[in-house]
Amino acid sequence: MARAFLIVMDSVGCGGAPDAAEFGDAGANTLGHIAAECAAGRAEEGRSGPLRLPNLDVLGLGAAIRLASGAEAPGLEAVPLGHWGAATEVSRGKDTPSGHWELAGVPVPWDWTYFPDAVPAFPEDLVAEVCRLAGVSGILGNCHASGTEIIDRLGAEHLRTGWPICYTSADSVFQIAAHEEVFGLERLVALCRDLAPRLHAMKVGRAIARPFLGEPGSFKRTGNRRDFAIAPPAPTLLDWVQGAGRVTHAVGKIGDIFSHRGISHLHKGKDDIALFDHLDRLGAEAEEGSLTFANFVEFDTNFGHRRDVAGYARQLEWFDARVGAFLARLRPGDLAVFTADHGNDPTFRGTEHTRERVPVVCHGVGSGSFGLRGFVDVGASVAAHLGVAAEGPGRSFL
C-alpha cells in the first residue's frame, strides 16, 4: 500500500503571489532572490558560489520558481524529472497556520486578529489576564519585536523582576519568552496553554511559549518552544487519513499547528538536524498506507526573520543534501511532496513573512508540470495517492 510524505520547508516561497501588493510584499521572492545573491557572490559566509540544490532542482524546483514568478534562479536550471508546479494561497494571511491548514485542504474562513505595531500593543484586559495567570504584577515588552532581539534587550530585566516578556509580530500571535530555569519551563508552558482559549476566542492564531537560557549578554532560545494554535475550522488531510484507519506521523511543529488533531505519532527534535533524522527513519520504517507530515522551521526562524541570506542558502544546501539520502530510502509507489507555507525573503525590507506562491515538487509519481494550482490541491493530491476520500475544495494534480 502506498505511503505519502508531505514535507514543508517553512518560508521557502518562490514569489509571484498575485495579491502580494495587498500585503506590502510586491516583488518578494525568497528562493529567486537567494539564488540571485549567491550567483552575484553576495552570500559567501560559510558557503560559496551559485546556490546548489541538485536534488530538489531535478524534481522541478528551479522550474517552479520560473513558473510562479517569471524570475530566473541562477544555479537552479535542471531539466525537471519530477512532477512539479507552484501553488497560490487564498487564505487572508501569510502565517504558519494559514499556510499549513490550506495545504492540508482547509482554507481559513475568517480574518485573523493582529495586534497593532504600537506600544503598548496589547489591550489592558489581556495584559491583566496574563498577570493573573502568571501570578505577577506586570509584563515586559508589550510590543512588536524579533524574538532574539527582545530577549537580548529585556532578558536581564526579566531575571530581575520575574515578569514574562510578551511580544507579537506581523503574524496573528501572542508570544511569551521566559527563562527556563528562573521562570520555569513548565510554568511558561502552562501560562501559554491557559491563555490560549482567550486568544483563540479573539481569533488570534497562536499562543507561543518561547523559553530561553543563559546570562545577560549570552541568552539563547532553546528547543522547548510550544505553540498553542487555534483548531482548524474543518477536518484536514490528517483527519481524513486517520479517519480512514491509517497511521499519521507528525514531525516538528505539525502537532502544534493542527492542535494535535488527526495525529497518531508525534516526532519532535531540538533542531532541523534531529527532525531530518526522524524523517529518514520514517522513510525506512513508516507503515504501509501511512502519511508523514513534516515541518522544517529553521529556514524561517534562524535565517528568514534575521534577513541572513548566506545562512538561508547554507540551510537550503544542507537540506538538499539530506533529501538525496531520504529519497533513496523510499519504496516503490511512495510519494514525497516538498513545498512551503509562505515566504520570508531575506533580501526584503523588515523582518516578517512575505506573501508568495510556493513551489510544489514531487518524487515518485512520474514527471511533468501540473502548472499553477491552489494550496488546497496539495492535500487533495496526497489523499488521492493514499486512496483516501478528500473533503473540501481541493483537486488532485496527480
Residue ranges for the known binding site for Mn(2+) are: 10, 300, 305, 341-342, 353
Tell me the binding residues: 10, 300, 305, 341-342, 353
Neighbours of 159 (CB within 10 A): 17
Contacts of 260-266 with CB under 8 Å at 24 or more apart are 261/231, 261/232, 261/236, 262/235, 262/236, 262/237, 262/238, 263/238
143 forms beta bridges with: 167
In what helix (H) or strand (E) does residue 140 lie, and over which residues does it extend? strand 140-144
Sign for the CA dihedral angle at 183, 195, 155, 161 comes to negative
Q: Which amino acid is at 216?
A: P
DSSP percent split of the chain into helix, strand, coil, nearest 5: 40, 20, 45
**What's CA 388's distance to the chain center, in Å?**
25
The radius of gyration of the chain's CA atoms, rounded to the nearest angstrom, is 20
Cα–Cα distance for residue pair 36/28, rounded to 1 Å = 13
> Cell triple for residue 29?
521572492
Cα–Cα distance for residue pair 263/36, rounded to 1 Å = 39
> What is each CA distance from 323 to 248, 251, 301, in whole angstroms?
21, 15, 20
Cα–Cα distance for residue pair 86/71, rounded to 1 Å = 13
Contacts of residue 38, defined as CB under 8 A and 6 or more positions apart, other chains included, come to 47, 49, 50, 51, 74, 75, 309, 313
Cα–Cα distance for residue pair 342/100, rounded to 1 Å = 9
> Cell triple for residue 63?
522550474
